[in-house]
Structure 1
Amino acid sequence: MPVFNCEKTISLAIRSILNQTYNNWELFIIDDGSTDKTLEIAQSFNDSRIYVIADGLHQNLPTRLNQVIAMSRGKYFARMDGDDISFPERIQTQVEYLENNPTIDLLGTQVIVFHQDGKARGSDTVKETHSQICSRPWSGFPMTHPTWIGRIEYFLKYQYRIDAIRMEDQDLLLRSYKTSKFACLPKILLAYRVESLSLKKILTGRYNFALALIHRGFADKDYFLFWGLLEQAAKSLVDIFAISTRLNFKLLKHRIGSPLSEKNLNKWNIVWSDCVQKN
């Protein structure tokens, strides 16, 4: 769990890991030079499975992820951010799937999208199989980064490219999809916080993904990847229009997903309340 200025959200994120039905985990919280009370809050949790690392530097997410990968001692490596909430059965469900499917290197899940005070916005849809996930590599790979759990060998082999800012996950998948195998569970196991949209962050990610497509296209002689340059340019224009006109989620509906079923909404409300009450 790399964190940066997450003082308002990190407590709930940590609590959601303490609430897991699967207990054989270690949580590395690595602070990326926070200037608020993030570090102080992280250090307040008294659990021998939690390790808090801080060096006072701001080195960005890819560098921090590689740092934690090198520290990890488990069979599997799981991702999560300091403003997300894992459902109690998340780790157990994903570990059991990986144990029963030894050919899968990396596993994602469906997510619920929420914002302040736990209000649900919607849920995404997932592509379940490797072929579905990788059917349009020039468009990206539909695997929400904070839901990932994969074999540690996969992360050690490929690692994150340190200059892949705002698209470190897509870059890793692009570099590894031809020699690895992915899957996603069509089950909501993580709540992904979306408060607002940053045009700068979105455009930075699209620009860097376009550069990655160029590099990978030439390296693999896979020139179909260049179609993604036009797609990223078109999507950037839509992003600019939506955010500059303040239409945001009205136009970018894919960022909050489709409405939740009553069953999933009730389940989420229980997960949220449990984290808040124990906080």
Structure 2
Amino acid sequence: MSVIMSMRNSAATVGAAVRSVLQQTLQDFELIVIDNGSSDQSGAIVAGFNDPRIRLVREASTSCLAVRLNQAVTLSRGEFIARMDADDMCFPDRLSRQAARLREDPRLDLIGCGAVVFTSAGELVGELPVGRVHQDIVARPFVGFPFPHPTWCGRATWFRDNPYDSSIGYAEDQDLLLRSFRHSRLGAVNAVLLAYRQDQLILRKLITGRLTFMGSLWRHGLATREVLPVLAGMTNHIVKAAVDIATVSTGLNRSMQLRRLRPISPAIAPQWRELRQVLLAPTNLAGTPGPCTA
């Protein structure tokens, strides 16, 4: 298993992210971390773990996420590749359960999992909507795919055959799914296996992501001659962008965030308390947690 991560100025969060990978029940993995031009201590924190399974690549310049993920895929040596962001955390059995699912069903190319949203203060907010089976994930391709990018785990061959578009800086995951969903088989483990950090919705990212995906839709429509359904999808995104602007500008950020999430499953709270206690302690430059103050 290869876990790929790109980070930039992530000193406040990358220690917990890396620890969550090192504490997986599946221990046969490599963690490839691309330092995407950080100016803080991110690289020193990752190097401080001093674990031979971690491969740290330091880049002096900053590139978009798609470029760094393609770079990490090229470096990977595992049968499967799992995505990981430098501000998120895995539950202990994430990698083992996703690897088992891929081995059980050779038809699957790429799978996700459930993800709970938390704030930097450790508060649980809700669960991300995730399609469980292929038909649900691809039901409305021109509106979007309910398939959160940080939860992805798939066959290395699929990632190499379906690279990210390095010319776009946002919505690289939705663009890739749009280009590949007709010749890929998608699914998900029906369990929360990832904690996704989100303090608030950022309007600039929301709007830029929608505009980028609309560009992907238009290119797809021209290439496939599916212009009318693509235009319907673009109209949907225009309407949602207007709602985003109106909601955030009136100070209802948390309300909009909650509307995008599902209620938290009862079983998640005790699991989250345990994960938080272990992983959200301050990290020193040796890569080890200090006294837990969470």
Matching residue of 1:119: 123
Indicate if the aligned counterparts of 1:3 and 1:81 stay in contact, CA closer than 8 A: yes
Indicate if the aligned counterparts of 1:126 and 1:186 stay in contact, CA closer than 8 A: no
Matching residue of 1:229: 234
Indicate if the aligned counterparts of 2:130 and 2:148 stay in contact, CA closer than 8 A: no
- One-letter code aligned to 1:92: S
- Of residues 161, 166, 170 in structure 2, which corresponds to 1:166? 170
Q: Measure, in 2, the Cα distance between the counterparts of 1:160 and 1:275.
A: 30
User: Which range is displaced more, 190-199 or 91-100?
Assistant: 190-199
In the TM superposition, 1:42-121 aligns within 5 A as 42-121=46-125
- Of residues 152, 155, 159 in structure 2, which corresponds to 1:155? 159
Q: CA deviation at 1:221?
A: 1.6
Q: Measure, in 2, the Cα distance between the counterparts of 1:266 and 1:252.
A: 23
Indicate if the aligned counterparts of 2:133 and 2:187 stay in contact, CA closer than 8 A: yes
How does the TM-score come out when normalised to structure 1?
Answer: 0.96
Q: CA deviation at 1:254?
A: 3.7
Matching residue of 1:268: 272
- One-letter code aligned to 2:68: R
Q: CA deviation at 1:25?
A: 0.4
- One-letter code aligned to 1:203: I
Q: Measure, in 2, the Cα distance between the counterparts of 1:68 and 1:254.
A: 34
Matching residue of 1:144: 148
Matching residue of 1:208: 212
Give % identity: 37
Aligned with 1:234: secondary structure?
helix
Aligned with 2:116: secondary structure?
strand
Q: CA deviation at 1:207?
A: 0.3
Matching residue of 1:9: 13
Following TM superposition, where does structure 1 have runs of at least 4 consecutive aligned residues deviating by more than 3 angstroms? Answer: none
Matching residue of 2:196: 192
- One-letter code aligned to 1:220: T
1:131 paired to 2:131: no
Q: Measure, in 2, the Cα distance between the counterparts of 1:254 and 1:24.
A: 38
Cα distance per residue 1:102-135 (max 9 Å; x no partner): 0000000110000023211111342211111101
Cα distance per residue 1:122-157 (max 9 Å; x no partner): 113422111111010011101110110000111101
- How many residues align? The count is 278
- One-letter code aligned to 2:51: D
- One-letter code aligned to 2:236: E
User: Which range is displaced more, 82-91 or 32-41?
Assistant: 32-41
Cα distance per residue 1:20-78 (max 9 Å; x no partner): 00011000010111111111111111100001101211011000000000000111111
Q: CA deviation at 1:246?
A: 1.3
User: Unpaired runs of 5+ in structure 1?
Assistant: none
User: Which range is displaced more, 110-119 or 17-26?
Assistant: 110-119
- One-letter code aligned to 2:19: R
Q: CA deviation at 1:226?
A: 2.0
- Of residues 23, 28, 35 in structure 2, which corresponds to 1:24? 28
Aligned with 2:232: secondary structure?
helix
How does the TM-score come out when normalised to structure 2?
Answer: 0.92
- One-letter code aligned to 1:106: L
Indicate if the aligned counterparts of 1:126 and 1:185 stay in contact, CA closer than 8 A: no
